[in-house]
Amino acid sequence: MMVEILCGVLSGGAVSTEIGSIRKRGRPSRLNHFFLAIDLARFGDVSTISARAAELANMVRASAPAKGYDEVLVAGEVERRTEAERRDTGIPLPDGNWETLLETAKRVGVTIDGSE
């Protein structure tokens, strides 16, 4: 409910079933966004707050995983792991995409190191 209120009600935008789908042609998604900035220092010592947040994340990770899963993750963890993996091994591209990018770069006069 809080996300709906912040993103839809306060902005005057769509909420709940009013929101369309990217999968349905002719029905705009009508998505809304809400951004919030919090100055942690106004709540106390930032290092203490950070340590408490880390403790909470560790408590969540220590929970028993749901049936069929090996571990419990916290928000952003999958993305951090993916970023680390891609920094090490690169970003995967479907077959043919790199060649298409090279051809397009050549056509518009962009030189890519090692592409010639």
Distance CA 77, CA 84 (A): 11
Residues 87, 55 share a domain: yes
Same structural domain for residues 32 and 55? no
CB 98 within 8 A of CB 92: no
Model-wide pTM > 0.75: no
The pLDDT assigned to 53 comes to 96
Note whether residue 106 is domain-resident: no
Is residue 74 within 8 Å of 61, Cβ to Cβ?
A: yes
Q: Same structural domain for residues 31 and 53?
A: no
- Residues 49 and 77 occupy one common structural domain: yes
Residue 79 half-sphere exposure, CB side, CA atoms within 13 Å?
A: 3
Domain count of the fold of the chain:
2
- Same domain (yes/no): 30, 67: no
What amino acid occupies position 51? A
Residue at 76 is within a domain:
yes
Domain presence at residue 110: no
- Please tell me whether residues 29 and 63 are part of one structural domain: no
Residue 16's domain comprises 1-36
Residue 116 lies in a domain: no
| Residue-level pLDDT at 18 | 86
Is 102 part of any domain?
A: no
Predicted pLDDT at 116: 58
Q: What local confidence, expressed as pLDDT, does residue 87 receive?
A: 97
Give average pLDDT by consecutive 10-residue segment, the chain, 116 residues: 91 86 73 90 98 98 97 96 97 92 94 75
- Based on the domain organization, do 4 and 32 belong to the same domain? yes
